[in-house]
């Protein structure tokens, strides 16, 4: 059946026929290959020199187009950080003639003031595909010398000076700790993010530059350009445009910040001004500071060493990473803990004789002659230590530390900047686990006046005082108010986040606030008083023992934490002067001037007036 | 029934592994890998070389598996496979991911495969069986050819939709070439030529996209569009020409390193070879390919039955069309179409198909007339 339509013929005939057909096929195939071979011969042998010349002349280059990084502006739109153009030296070897001789490397090394071995290593890593950056942000002097050297070495040797955008910090010493800086990307960061970055790219390494890297950086573009051997552009083949980074509008007020820096002067320490209703940081200041632009070029080792060794720690952001005993600014925490736990009533009185005795130990009040009869209000207004020793003893360390933790102490505030410290709220467990010792009652007393093991950052104090001012809400500190896409104009506002609440009745908070008002009106914080605006605040003098020149010295940190106006609080100001002395004498006037500057800017205060409290000595 | 069958059987060797074919393949594959390394080592995006190396290992295993399968099994399942081929060709159009405007891949996990590549072999096997099942001494007329022609055109049509004109063209060329080898009556041949003469201008006018017409026009005059399609050809020719007699030496090619060709690791891989190894290096590779093809056709004349014969010849045509069209394209002799150079171009499907073709060839060549050795 199957074979009905099959013609009958011998296999041998079939094979012979197939062989004949195959022979014809092979001849055709051979002809095609000969044509290909001849074409190859003609291109490579007959016209090889011509094409070699063309290949030397026409070469395609891919340039990365660096978009300008997003701008950083203050809350009113005033520029804080923008971009400028800088010159970088690149090496991109394309053919053998681009190989640099030892002598040429020596010339370049001496011009760039780097050692030959390092330079040689960088040069070896370069290829046509990924050029090496030999130097970045050349100054004009070096640039001029390099241009001259290039005339001798030759402009077609793969060395090229390219314009790239550089970060420009308009106020170099202003809040560098918060703005952060850029550095060349590290190999490990590159490995994690190889799709976005290339070796040699700059990346935000700290502060806002780091935290908001993905918004600020934009997207690099590509440009395919045909060039001749003299690096002259013949034509552009294709362009993938770069995408500009997004602009950040900070909660920071530039003018107020400048004013803060002026008021604070040369002292070392920190200042935070926070919006009590939104958590926005209006001013922040950590002194001494550093110029962030030193990091974008090649960092000189001596400079780095001097920054590291400076006892005033210019590299530390003291607002978020400086941990200090809070001293008396901590007393409202203790007072609220005692009130909330029902240990005391506001009216309850004790007698301060200038010292407090437990067993054989004596704990002194700052006022050696004693305060006499003291209740809560008087205790806060005059910062009576004995009163708080008693209150702390009655409340006990367990309830105190639990309450303090709920007020945001001992944990990070959540500000979106790397390197925040959590401080320390000691308790029995901590003492047992870390110090391997049981808790002593004396330590509870120290806790009551914000001394001993308790450690806080100025930012934590600001969050707590803001909460006192706003009725108890602990807010997450914000630095960025809104993020703007400069192309579409779309604006994204960052949200106000409540991280917790002071676990005390509103009534108790009001009682404490009233006392804080009287601290400034006529207590230890008189120097912070302004005539037209009611300020509530608390002084603090943190005792620290530090070793200097191999001998122990007692140097007090001066604190002042305040909010204003009392009736309808807007801002909270925290001032910390390291080794400054008494809080009332040193920190309070600074806080007053900052508050004054803020309200002057707002137009509430017209001109500088003399406050009643000025130049009066104050205790703590 | 077939009186000569017994006589033939007596002269047949039972199994013989063709090492010549295998070693030529390994040689080409090795040079291909070395060349691919040079073409892509600077890439930051993907480790092309390692991927290709892994695929080669899989390919060699595949070669052995196919070489050892019973020939009868391959022959019996050939129609089944052709029928089954339609499924992935349809699936590609429905669910395939779009890459550069074309849907050619089927994703199996993270691995993308091109059914149209493997389909080339499936078609060859099915055609071989057809010409073996229906032998004609005095050549085929339209009556004997319309069915395989229709099947081929149907497959090609599905591939045109992807769109992948180059691969669809290979299908038609393979069909035409095997048919010619089997013998076509003069009447049909004249008819085919007439139809082609009418169809070509029509296709030019209606069947091609602008960019496709442009590619053909630039072939005639490369200066026509120096930044568009002519640009690739021009740069490819400069790269090849600048290699001169002995090349710029390994890893030293300048044209191909500077990314002037977006496809320099796939379709234009030959330019990398020619630039770095020069005339003699690339001629050596061309001769190796020519020898491979010659060997396949020689083996086709040595095997004892029509299925083996046409399958081996079909595989010979497969390598010939791929190699000749790809190289001619990089040399500016043929319009730019997406056809890979076997064992050289980067690509999983293309490489596996080439290895599979060799495996099948070794299988079919294992049974030969004794007196021909």
CB proximity B216 to A under 8 Å: no
Q: How far away is chain B from the Cα of A218, in angstroms, using its nearest Cα?
A: 20
Instruction: Output the pLDDT for position A359.
Output: 81
A-B C-beta contacts closer than 8 Å = 163
On average, the pLDDT of chain A sits at: 86
Rounded Cα–Cα distance for residues A525 and A566 (Å): 14
Question: What is the nearest CA distance from B89 to chain A, expressed in angstroms?
Answer: 30
What pLDDT shows up at residue B149? 93
Rounded CA-CA distance B145/B191 in Å is 13
Q: How confident is the model at residue B46 (pLDDT cuts 50, 70, 90)?
A: low
As a whole number of angstroms, the distance between CA A514 and CA A540 comes to 18
pLDDT of residue A297: 63
| Residue of B132, B134, B301, B334 best to disrupt the A interface, most CBs of A under 10 A | B301
Q: Which residues of A touch B242 (CB under 8 A)?
A: 48, 51-52, 54-56
Mean pLDDT of B117-139: 92
With bands split at pLDDT 50, 70 and 90, how would you rate the model's confidence at A375?
very high
Query: At how many degrees (to 10) do helices B48-68 and B348-365 cross?
Result: 20
Percent helix / strand / coil, chain A, rounded to 5 = 40, 25, 35
Given a cut of 90, whether residue B124 has pLDDT beyond it is yes
Question: Is pLDDT at A96 greater than 50 in this prediction?
Answer: yes
B4 to chain A: which residues are within 8 Å by CB? 10-12
Catalytic residue among A286, A328, A383, A466: A328
Q: How confident is the model at residue A129 (pLDDT cuts 50, 70, 90)?
A: low
Q: How far is the C-alpha of A31 from the C-alpha of A27, rounded, in Å?
A: 6
Give residue-wise pLDDT tens across range A35-83: 999 999 999 999 999 888 887 766 667 777 888 899 999 999 999 999 8
Q: How far apart are CA A373 and CA A31, in angstroms?
A: 118
- Looking at mean pLDDT, say which of A162-176, B238-252, B331-345 comes out highest: B331-345
Here the tokens at position A539 are 């002084």
Asked if A456 contacts A497 with a C-beta cutoff of 8 angstroms, the reply is no
User: Which of B255, B258, B290 faces A33 most closely, judged by CB atoms?
Assistant: B290
* B272 beta partners: none
Alpha helix ranges (H) inside A167-283: 176-179, 187-192, 207-211, 213-216, 254-264
Verdict on whether the full-model pTM lies above 0.80? no
- B319 vs B103, higher pLDDT: B319
Q: Is A194 a catalytic residue?
A: no
Query: Over 70: is that where the pLDDT of A87 sits?
Result: yes
Distance of CA A456 to the CA centre of its chain: 19
The pLDDT of residue A30 is above 90: yes
B141 in A contact zone (CB under 8 Å): no
Q: Is the peptide bond before A288 cis (omega within 30 degrees of 0)?
A: yes
CB atoms A14 and B306 under 8 Å:
yes
CB B245 within 8 A of CB B257: no
- Asked whether A366 and A408 are in contact (CB, 8 A), the reply is no
The 3-state secondary structure of B232-258, one letter per residue: HHHHHHHHHHHCCCCCCCCCCCCCHHH
A33 touches chain B (CB under 8 A): yes
Burial of residue A315 (CB within 10 Å: 0-12, 13-18, 19+) is middle
The per-residue pLDDT for B157 is 93
Choose the most confident range, by mean pLDDT, from A63-67, A90-94, A541-545, B181-185: B181-185
* Confidence label for B153 from pLDDT (cuts 50, 70 and 90): very high
Q: In Å, how far are A101, A229, B275 from A98, measured between CA atoms?
A: 9, 11, 19
- Cβ atoms of A259 and A241 within 8 Å: the answer is no
Give how far Cα A258 sits from Cα of A255, A284, A420, A563, Å: 5, 10, 24, 20
Q: Convert the pLDDT of each residue in A449-489 to its tens digit.
A: 999 899 999 999 999 999 999 999 999 999 999 999 988 88
Burial A142-177 (b: 16+ CB within 10 A, else e): bbeebeeebeebeebbbbbeeebebbbbebeebbbb
* pLDDT band of B13, cuts 50, 70, 90: low
- Rg of chain A's alpha carbons, rounded to an integer? 36
For A262-272, what is each residue's pLDDT tens digit?
Answer: 999 888 999 99
Question: How does pLDDT run across B280-311, given as a tens digit for each residue?
Answer: 999 999 999 999 999 999 999 988 889 999 99
Of A15, A25, A129, the CB nearest to B181: A25
Return the C-alpha torsion angle B159, B160, B162, B167, nearest 10: 60
Quote the pLDDT of residue A410: 93
- What pLDDT, in 10s, does the model give residues B325-351? 999 999 989 888 889 999 999 999 999
The per-residue pLDDT for range A278-320, each reduced to its tens digit, is 999 999 999 888 887 777 666 777 888 888 888 888 888 999 9
ipTM of this predicted complex? 0.92
Q: Are the CB atoms for A197 and A203 separated by under 8 Å? A: yes
Number of CB atoms found within 10 A of residue B237's CB: 22
Chain A from 75 to 94: CB within 8 A of any B CB: 94
Q: Determine, for residues A55 and B8 on separate chains, whether the beta-carbon distance falls below 8 Å.
A: no
- Is the peptide bond preceding residue A234 cis, with omega within 30 degrees of 0? no
In angstroms, rounded to a whole number, what is the distance separating the alpha carbons of residues B253 and B260? 12
Out of A7-11, A360-364, B53-57, B91-95, the most confident range is B53-57
**CA of B165: how far to CAs of A216, B112, B160, B172, B225, in Å?**
45, 20, 5, 11, 21
Decide if pLDDT at A408 tops 90: yes
Alpha helices per DSSP H over A454-602 = 458-470, 506-522, 588-602
Contact between A350 and A386 (Cβ < 8 Å) = yes
Mean of pLDDT values over A552-574: 89
**What's the farthest any 2 CA atoms get from each other in chain A?**
134
Q: Tell me whether A304 touches chain B (CB under 8 Å).
A: no
Q: Which residues 3-32 of chain A have a CB within 8 Å of chain B?
A: 3, 5-7, 9-15, 17-19, 21-22, 25-26, 29-30, 32
Of B138, B181, B331, the CB nearest to A22: B181
Please give the residue that has the higher pLDDT: either A268 or B205.
A268
Residue B312 CA, distance from chain mean position? 13
- CA B359-B360-B365 angle, to 5 degrees, is 100
Average pLDDT, chain B: 86
In the numeric block, the tokens 């020939």 are attached to B71
Nearest CA in chain B to A29: B320
Indicate the residue of A7, A14, A40 with minimum beta-carbon distance to B331: A40
Nearest alpha carbon to residue A559 among A577, A573, A536: A577
Residues contacting B84, CB < 8 A, separation 6+: none
Task: Give me the residue label for tokens 């976005």.
Answer: A196
Give the closest residue to A442 by CA, choosing from A429, A426, A455.
A426
pLDDT at B7: 42
Chain B CB contacts of A56 below 8 Å: 242, 254
Per the CB < 8 Å rule, is B258 touching A62? Answer: yes
Bond prior to A127 in cis (omega within 30° of 0) = no
For B153, the 3-state DSSP assignment is helix
**Beta strands A182-184; A372-374: pairing state:** unpaired
- For chain B, give percent helix, strand, coil, nearest 5: 70, 5, 25
A43, A58, A128: residue with CB nearest B240: A43
The C-alpha atoms of residue B268 and residue A251 are separated, in whole angstroms, by 55
Closest CA to A570 of A416, A465, A457: A465
């Amino acid at each position: 059946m199957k074979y009905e339509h099959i013609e009958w013929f011998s296999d041998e005939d079939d094979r012979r026929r197939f062989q004949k057909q195959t022979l014809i096929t092979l001849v055709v195939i051979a002809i095609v290959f000969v044509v290909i071979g001849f074409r190859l011969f003609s291109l490579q042998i007959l016209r090889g020199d011509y094409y070699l010349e063309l290949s030397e002349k026409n070469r395609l280059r891919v340039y990365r187009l660096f978009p300008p990084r997003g701008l950083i502006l203050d809350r009113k739109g005033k520029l804080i950080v923008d971009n400028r153009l800088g010159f970088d030296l690149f090496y991109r070897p394309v053919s053998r003639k681009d190989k640099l001789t030892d002598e040429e490397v020596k010339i370049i090394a001496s011009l760039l003031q780097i050692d030959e071995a390092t330079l040689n290593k960088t040069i070896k890593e370069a290829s046509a595909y990924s050029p090496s950056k030999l130097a970045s942000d050349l100054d004009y002097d070096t640039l001029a010398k390099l241009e001259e050297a290039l005339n001798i070495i030759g402009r077609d040797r793969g060395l090229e000076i390219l314009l790239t955008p550089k970060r420009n910090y308009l106020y170099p010493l202003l809040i560098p700790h918060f703005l952060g800086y850029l550095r060349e990307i590290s190999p490990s960061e590159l490995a994690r993010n190889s799709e976005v970055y290339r070796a040699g790219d700059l990346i935000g390494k700290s502060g806002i530059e780091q935290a908001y890297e993905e918004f600020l950086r934009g997207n690099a573009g590509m440009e395919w350009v045909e060039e001749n051997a003299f690096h002259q552009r013949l034509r552009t083949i294709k362009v993938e445009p770069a995408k500009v980074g997004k602009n950040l509008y900070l909660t920071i007020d530039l003018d107020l910040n400048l004013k803060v820096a002026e008021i604070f002067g040369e002292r070392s320490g920190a200042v935070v001004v926070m919006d009590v209703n939104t958590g926005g940081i209006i001013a922040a200041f950590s002194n001494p500071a550093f110029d962030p632009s030193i990091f974008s070029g090649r960092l000189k080792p001596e400079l780095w060493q001097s920054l590291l060794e400076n006892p005033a720690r210019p590299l530390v952001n003291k607002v978020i990473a400086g941990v200090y005993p809070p001293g008396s600014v901590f007393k409202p925490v203790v007072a609220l803990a005692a009130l909330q736990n029902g240990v005391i009533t506001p009216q309850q009185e004790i007698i301060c004789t200038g010292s407090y005795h437990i067993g054989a130990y004596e704990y002194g009040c700052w006022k050696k002659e004693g305060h006499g009869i003291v209740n809560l209000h008087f205790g806060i207004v005059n910062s009576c230590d004995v009163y708080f020793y008693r209150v702390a003893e009655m409340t006990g360390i367990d309830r105190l530390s639990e309450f303090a933790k709920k007020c945001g102490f001992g944990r990070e505030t959540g500000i979106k900047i790397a390197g925040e410290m959590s401080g320390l709220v000691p308790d029995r467990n901590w003492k047992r686990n870390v110090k391997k010792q049981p808790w002593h009652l004396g330590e509870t007393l120290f806790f009551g006046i914000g001394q001993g093991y308790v450690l806080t950052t100025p930012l934590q104090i600001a969050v707590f005082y803001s909460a006192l001012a706003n009725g108890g809400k602990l807010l997450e500190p914000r630095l960025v108010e809104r993020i703007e896409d400069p192309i579409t104009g779309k604006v994204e506002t960052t949200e106000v986040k409540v991280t917790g609440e002071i676990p005390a009745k509103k009534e108790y908070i009001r009682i404490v606030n009233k006392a804080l008002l009287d601290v400034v009106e006529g207590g230890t914080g008189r120097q912070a008083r302004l005539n037209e605006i009611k300020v509530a605040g608390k002084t603090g003098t943190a005792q620290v023992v530090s070793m200097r020149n191999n001998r122990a010295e007692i140097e007090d940190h001066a604190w002042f934490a305040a909010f204003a106006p009392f009736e309808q609080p807007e801002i909270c100001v925290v001032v910390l002067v390291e080794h400054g002395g008494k809080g009332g004498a040193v920190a309070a006037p600074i806080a007053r001037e900052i508050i004054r500057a803020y309200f002057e800017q707002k137009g509430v205060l017209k001109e500088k007036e003399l406050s009643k409290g000025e130049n009066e000595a104050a205790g703590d | 029934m077939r009186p000569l069958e017994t006589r033939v059987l007596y002269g047949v060797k039972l199994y013989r592994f063709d090492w010549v074919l295998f070693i030529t393949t390994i040689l080409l594959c090795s040079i291909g890998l070395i060349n691919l390394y040079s073409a892509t080592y600077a890439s930051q995006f993907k480790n092309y070389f390692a991927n290709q190396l892994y695929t080669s290992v899989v390919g060699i295993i595949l070669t052995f598996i196919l070489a050892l399968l019973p020939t009868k099994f391959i022959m019996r399942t050939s129609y089944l496979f052709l029928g089954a081929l339609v499924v992935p060709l349809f699936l590609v159009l429905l669910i395939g991911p779009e890459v550069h405007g074309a849907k050619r891949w089927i994703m199996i996990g993270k691995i993308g495969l091109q059914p149209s590549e493997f389909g080339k072999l499936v078609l060859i096997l099915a055609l071989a069986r057809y010409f073996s099942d229906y032998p004609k001494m005095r050549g085929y007329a339209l009556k004997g050819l319309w069915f395989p022609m229709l099947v081929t055109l149907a497959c090609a049509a599905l591939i045109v939709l992807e769109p992948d004109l180059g691969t669809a063209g290979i299908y038609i060329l393979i069909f035409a070439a095997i048919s010619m080898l089997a013998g076509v009556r003069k009447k049909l041949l004249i008819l085919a030529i007439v139809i082609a003469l009418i169809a070509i201008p029509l296709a030019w006018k209606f069947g091609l996209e602008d960019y496709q017409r442009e590619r053909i026009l630039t072939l005639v005059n490369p200066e026509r569009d120096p930044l568009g399609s002519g640009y690739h050809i021009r740069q490819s020719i400069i790269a090849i020409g600048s290699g001169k007699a002995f090349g710029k030496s390994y890893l030293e090619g300048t044209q191909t390193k500077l990314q002037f060709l977006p496809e320099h690791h796939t379709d234009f891989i030959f330019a990398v070879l020619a630039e770095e190894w020069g005339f003699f290096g690339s001629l050596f590779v061309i001769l190796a390919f020519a020898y491979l093809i010659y060997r396949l056709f020689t083996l086709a004349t040595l095997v004892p039955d029509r299925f083996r014969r046409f399958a081996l010849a079909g595989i010979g045509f497969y390598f010939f069309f791929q190699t000749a069209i790809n190289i001619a394209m990089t040399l500016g002799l043929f319009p730019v179409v997406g056809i890979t150079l076997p064992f050289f171009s980067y690509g999983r499907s293309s490489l596996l198909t080439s290895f599979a073709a060799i495996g099948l060839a070794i299988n079919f060549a294992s049974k030969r007339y004794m007196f021909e050795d």
